[in-house]
Amino acid sequence: MASYRTPLGRARGLGAAKHGVGAWIAERVTAVALVPLVLWAVFAGLRLAATDYYGAVEWLTSSALNPVLMGLFVIVGFMHMHAGLRVVIEDYIEKHLTRAGLLLLNLFACSLIGALAVFSILKVALGGAY
């Protein structure tokens, strides 16, 4: 039987889905964490651009701070990239299957590439490279 209720009428009374706010907060929390991390990363980038392979390895192995902050920058940065592009996809892609596919691609790409980057930093920092 056809429903004569409007979409608004159906939605009314159901209330909010009650899980939207988590993603919104996560985007803000990662944003706050990235403020100091990005400023640090700019200085790190300046140091790294002025040196070669051996200098970069030295930079990652000479202290605990550099690999830890670089690892945190990658993790928080990729979480924020995921959260940000997720909102962009949700805003502009209406077609259900395309939207779902792109949302999954965004999540998987950020997870895989972020994990590869963190693993690489740890490998160099813990002495796998020379």
What are the residues binding another protein (CB under 8 A)? 2-3, 5-7, 10, 28, 31-32, 34-35, 38-39, 42, 46, 48-50, 52-54, 56-57, 60, 70, 73-74, 77-78, 81, 84-85, 88, 91-92, 113-114, 116-121, 123-124, 128-129
| Closest distance to another protein from the beta carbon of 53 (Å) | 4
Cβ proximity of 41 and 97 under 8 Å: no
Smallest separation (angstroms) from another protein to the CB of 58: 11
- Selection from 82, 100, 66, 94 nearest residue 23 by Cα: 82
Q: Which residues lie closer than 8 Å to 5 by C-beta, 6 or more apart? A: none
Beta carbon nearer to another protein, 58 or 101: 58
Question: Whose CA is closest to 37, among 63, 74, 64?
Answer: 74
Q: Least Å distance between CB 120 and another protein?
A: 4
Kindly state the tokens that stand for 110: 């950020």
Report helix angle 96-125 to 53-61, nearest 10: 80
C-alpha triplet 6, 7, 9: angle, nearest 5° = 65
**CB 18 to another protein: min, Å:** 20
Q: Which is nearer to another protein, 88 or 101 (CB)?
A: 88
Residue closer to another protein (CB basis): 87 or 101: 87
